[in-house]
Amino acid sequence: MTQKYSIELIEEHDAVNFYSIQLDEEELSELERFFEKFPEGSEYDHDIDTIIAWLD
């Protein structure tokens, strides 16, 4: 089975750009799906905050 996808620009900065994969049949990008799977208030808040801090 072949899946069609595109690369979506999420954030643009001077030193780096952030992208996410967007599958054609999905409404949300992979990044959006990740944040929906682990919403604010989940048991993984500290871990997700750490990841976001690394990216910022």
pTM: 0.75
pLDDT digits (tens, 9 = 90+) for 6-55: 999 999 989 889 999 999 999 999 999 999 999 999 999 999 999 888 87
CA 16-13-29 angle, to 5 degrees, is: 75
* 9/46 Cα distance (integer angstroms): 26
CB-side neighbour CA atoms (13 Å) of 45? 5
The distance from CA 52 to its chain's CA centroid, rounded to whole angstroms, is 10
